[in-house]
Amino acid sequence: MEQYSFGDGLAEDLVPPLGQPDVMNYSWRDWGNRVGAWRLLAMFRELGFAPSLLVNTVLYETAPGLLEAFRNLGCAVVAHGRTNAEAQSGLDEAAETAVIREARDTIAHHEGRPPLGWLGPWISETERTPDLLEEASFEYVLDWAMDDQPVWLRTRGGRLLSVTYPHELNDANAVVLRRATGREFAAMIVDQCDELLEHGGSQPVVMGVALHAHVSGQPFRLRPLRRALQHVRSLGAAVWITDTDHIAAAWRSAAFAS
């Protein structure tokens, strides 16, 4: 759940911009929060899924009704910085600490408890980010996608759990950057799931799927996406359909955190 600035800052573009104001690309992104996210919400309700909601906190000001609707679905809220018009790279320690804690405190104010997880906007970090997240009482981070299982990161104050985030099964990367079709992206989800089940061995692994409202909320992409997720749901007890809060909690438990 992302918000971009109009006319400045970082942006994800559908087509190469010709300058500012970039009405075409901005309106495409804004359509996601106005329309696409609601279509995704309806699909999640239909499937009985409650996904992790990665939130730019400025959305509590710009789209409060949307966040309330997803809250009623029972989604785990993960901090995703303030806005996707900015990134953490290049910030000094004081400035980055302020960004992290502002996002944490804003979510705590609106949700009644602080978020457990963090994904940096643009997956951008400094050398201190894991340290600052641990010191701000975050339990896990999604930035480090180097394994199919959660991995412990050592920080200057203790350890922080890394829960893998999908760079490949990510509609922004697959569709916007690599120009895959909606059907091709849906096929990637099915093939990933079936291959992991058939040849993944006995170890539990995490299969994440990253969806952006302005991409997967488009009706012609939503239809094959729904079929792919219905396939995952049809596998029953072979898969655990859950959110990143529950994955992190399971890994921290005695069953996994040896």
Q: What is the CATH number of the domain that holds 235?
A: 3.20.20.370
3-state secondary structure of 170: strand
- Please state, rounded to an integer, the average pLDDT across all residues of the chain: 95
Residue 2 inside a domain? The answer is no
Residue 12 inside a domain? The answer is no
C-alpha–C-alpha distance, residues 127 and 96, integer Å: 11
φ/ψ of 191, rounded to 5, equals -65, -40
pLDDT for 254: 57
Between CA 250 and CA 2, with CA 56 as vertex, the angle to 5 degrees is: 105
What does the pLDDT look like over 149-185, one tens digit per residue? 999 999 999 999 999 999 999 999 999 999 999 999 9
User: Quick one: which of 25, 15, 29 has its CA closest to 213?
Assistant: 29
Residue 224 inside a domain? The answer is yes
User: Quick one: which of 208, 247, 253, 254 has its CA closest to 116?
Assistant: 247
Q: Kindly report the pTM of this predicted structure.
A: 0.94
Q: Which domain holds residue 213?
A: 23-252
Q: Is 246 exposed, middle or buried (0-12, 13-18, 19+ CB in 10 A)?
A: middle
Q: With bands split at pLDDT 50, 70 and 90, how would you rate the model's confidence at 89?
A: very high
Mean of the pLDDT values across residues 44-73?
96
Q: With bands split at pLDDT 50, 70 and 90, how would you rate the model's confidence at 200?
A: confident
pLDDT for 202: 83
Residue 119 inside a domain? The answer is yes
Higher-confidence residue of 128 and 258: namely 128
Mean of the pLDDT values across residues 230-253?
96
Answer whether residue 118 shows pLDDT above 60.
Answer: yes
pLDDT for 255: 52
pLDDT for 203: 84
Q: Is 240 left (phi over 0), alpha (psi -120 to 50) or beta?
A: beta
Mean of the pLDDT values across residues 65-83?
96
Residue 211 inside a domain? The answer is yes
pLDDT for 8: 87
Mean of the pLDDT values across residues 30-55?
98
> 236 is written with which tokens?
């029953």
Answer whether residue 257 shows pLDDT above 90.
Answer: no
Residue 6 inside a domain? The answer is no
Q: Is 34 exposed, middle or buried (0-12, 13-18, 19+ CB in 10 A)?
A: middle
Residue 72 inside a domain? The answer is yes
Residue 103 inside a domain? The answer is yes
Q: Say how many domains are in the chain.
A: 1
Mean of the pLDDT values across residues 109-127?
97
Mean of the pLDDT values across residues 16-33?
93
